[in-house]
Amino acid sequence: MLSIGQLVDMQWKLGMAVSSDTCRSLNSPFVSLLLKIVEPSGQICQRAFEMTIPQFQNFHRQFKEMAAVMETV
Amino acid sequence: MTSPPTSHVNMAAGLSSEDFTNLQLLLKAPSKDAVRDVCVQSYRAPSRRLAESTAATFSIPAAEAAQLIQSLHTLSHHILFYNLTSPEQILAVFPESFHSNLKNLITKILLENSSAWRTEALSHQVSLPQLKELDWRVDLVTGSDSVSRMALPTCLVQLKIEDPCPSAGGESISTVTVELSRESLDTILDGLGRIRDQLSVVAGK
């Protein structure tokens, strides 16, 4: 069946930023995600991005909502 | 002749005794507010315009004003880099002989601004592209070219990702759209749940 782009893999990493050129001591956690998507043409594209913890929590909440809605249709 | 201030390097360059000599120029300020203004503005990349306006306010040569601004810049970035957050920590940076009232005033101004500077610095770190927006829509597919009657829920997810340093000619914001079946959504949720569990482990430490 026709589809826009299929997610085939999701890799993740939870990291802790320790230090940078501006702040010696950071200690701020972050989440990186790598999505592997197969486009309709068959080409595989990979997209990586980073989220802060509040962003991740919102991301997680959104996906839970999607799942809840899908259960009802 | 001393060399002109070098270009803005966002690093905690070491504070030298020369910097503290330059900071004494603040004694020529007409008011405490004038000191506050130059302290706050010099946090950004030192500019010629700031040097000129400071020279006019303080009635000092522009070259001296430029050195003052460079030294203030170095000082505020030193405070930020070492995350000095108490008056005692900041006061300890100054040499013993430094003008006492001026030392207290500079410390007070730095403390007023340090948390805002830190917040700003933290949100402008080098990073992978960042997720800016997440939009989704759940559909019910009721028919297709291969199956005329069906009822299959799918979910369209659109991610807007911002790359702070896009490759030449590339857009800084790009969009990714994926269609998720119930199964792939469950797989994602499983992964996200594990991240959440790991996070609570880290937070619990």
Inter-chain touch A5–B176, beta carbons under 8 Å: yes
Q: Which residues of chain A have a CB within 8 Å of the CB of B174?
A: 47
Return the number of other C-beta atoms located less than 10 Å from residue B142's C-beta: 11
Task: Please enumerate in sequence order all residues whose Cβ is within 8 A of that of B39, keeping only pairs 6 or more positions apart, or say none.
Answer: B72, B76, B106, B109, B110, B113
Q: Does residue B201 belong to the interface with chain A, where contact is any CB pair within 8 Å?
A: no
Answer yes or no: do B176 and A24 touch at CB < 8 A.
no
Residue among B83, B85, B131, B199 with most chain A CBs within 10 A, to mutate? B131
Tokens of residue B143, six digits = 């028919």
**Interface list for B 83-142 with A (CB within 8 A):** 83, 118, 121-122, 125-131, 134, 136, 138, 140-141
Mean pLDDT by 10 residues, chain A (73 residues): 82 92 88 93 91 94 94 87
What is the spatial distance between Cα B170 and Cα B72, in angstroms, rounded to a whole number? Answer: 37
DSSP E strands: which ranges in chain A? Answer: 6-17, 28-38, 44-52
Contact A66 B77 (CB under 8 A): no
Exposed, middle or buried: residue B43 (CB in 10 Å: 0-12, 13-18, 19+)?
buried
Give pLDDT tens digits along chain B (205 positions): 444 444 444 444 589 999 999 999 999 999 999 999 999 999 988 899 999 999 999 999 999 999 999 999 999 999 999 999 999 999 999 999 999 999 999 999 999 999 999 988 887 878 889 999 999 999 988 888 888 888 889 999 999 999 877 776 777 898 999 999 999 999 999 999 999 999 998 776 5
Rounded Cα–Cα distance for residues B70 and B58 (Å): 16
Residue of A nearest to B185 (CA): A67
What is the C-alpha separation between B173 and A47, in angstroms, rounded?
12
What's chain A's length in residues? 73
Interhelix angle for B48-58 vs B32-41, to 10°? 170
Q: What is the pTM of this model?
A: 0.72
Where exactly are the structural domains of chain B? Answer: 17-123, 130-204
- H or E stretch including B130? strand B130-141
Contact between chains at B128 and A64 (C-beta distance less than 8 A)? no
Rounded to a whole number of angstroms, the distance from the CA of B162 to the nearest CA of chain A is 8
Which of A21, A46, A52, A53 would you mutate first to test chain B, the one with the most B CBs within 10 A?
Answer: A21
**Dmax (CA) of chain B:** 87
CA distance A64 to A56: 12
**Residue of chain B nearest A27, judged by CA positions:** B122
pLDDT at B114: 93
For position B35, what pLDDT does the model report?
A: 96
**Mutation choice for B interface testing from A7, A32, A39, A53 by most B CBs within 10 A:** A7
Place of tokens 């799918």: B154
Phi-psi region for residue B15, left (φ > 0), alpha (ψ -120 to 50) or beta? beta
Q: What is the DSSP string of B16-82?
A: -HHHHHHHGGGGG-SSHHHHHHHHHHTTS---HHHHHHHHHHHTS-HHHHHHHHHHHHHHHHHHHHT
- What is the enclosing helix (H) or strand (E) of B154? strand B152-162
